[in-house]
Structure 1
Amino acid sequence: MPTEWKLFADLAERAGDKHVTVDAGAGDTVGAALTELVDDRPDLEGRVLTDDGELRSQINVLRNGTNVLVEEEGLETELEEGDELALFPPVSGG
């Protein structure tokens, strides 16, 4: 079953949409879903990934509202059916 990414701020602008469905589902990892997203929307790649293909340190990846980089197993976190993924750019206060 496909998984939907919610994109925020300039990431949505680069992708051309706030919601992008990718061909990753239960049993796949968050990293696999991220790869599908970047492959489908190449304008995101330079904003989300480093030249080495690593996730930029200031990008936040959430699964069902939980930051996978802090509270789960990072990009190795396994997806479950119905998961909602979100990608946030750096948040700056003001």
Structure 2
Amino acid sequence: MNVDSQEITALVGREVYSNNGVFVGEVEDVRLDLGAEQVTGLALSGLNEELFQGNVEGDKGVMVPYRWVRAVGDVILINDIIERLRGPEEAEETLA
């Protein structure tokens, strides 16, 4: 993604979901590589507590690599890899 200040500011505040429809968090900031003029990551806050339970303390955020982004629209869709933070046994409990 080439850096366009209007596009970048439009990302801030957008909700982020996995491509399976699980809410991940909200974009608080954008990490840029100014030399390459590219967005390299999204700083998320307001995280889904269930998804990050035990992995992120308190009100800290996470940085999601921009390469995980699948689509940008009214919301941002990312690869479902973020859901794999839960252990396999926890995922099975969710399905039961």
Q: TM-score, normalised on structure 2?
A: 0.31
The one of the two structures with greater contact order (alpha-carbon pairs below 8 A, sep at least 6) is 1
The structure that is strand-richer by fraction is 2
